[in-house]
Amino acid sequence: MSDFGWSNHTIKAERKTFCGTLDYLCPEMLFNNPYDFSVDIWCLGILCFEFCTGHPPFESQSRKETFKKIKDIDINYPSFLSYEVRDLINKLLQKIPKERLNLEQVLDHPWIVKYRDYIPQVE
């Protein structure tokens, strides 16, 4: 479930390459700002939304509109999503990278903790 076409090993943690799947691009790429590993946290937020709803949060009819929604963090949550999962996604999809949760905080988030030991019953 990954594509390593743009993977890179570098001494410098900061990047400026504009690449990736449109729906997963983070604001710092769209604003042409340098970025680091926090783009992966952003993508985790996109994946979480997509796994819960079946579509990415900024999906639009045009590339231009998708870019605008990402830049504005314009997310419309379906009513069936719980407060807890909305809170997690909001904390992952922060415009300012330093304000995004880190992985340790993700693991301690109430929505993750609530379902950490859940084992679905298979018939």
Listed by start position, the domains of the chain span 27-115
CATH number of 27-115: 1.10.510.10
Q: How far is CA 117 from the centre of its chain?
A: 23
Query: 0.75 exceeded by the pTM?
Result: yes
Over residues 59-71, the pLDDT tens digits come to 999 999 999 999 9
What percent of the chain has a predicted confidence (pLDDT) above 70?
A: 83
Residue with tokens 């109430």: 110
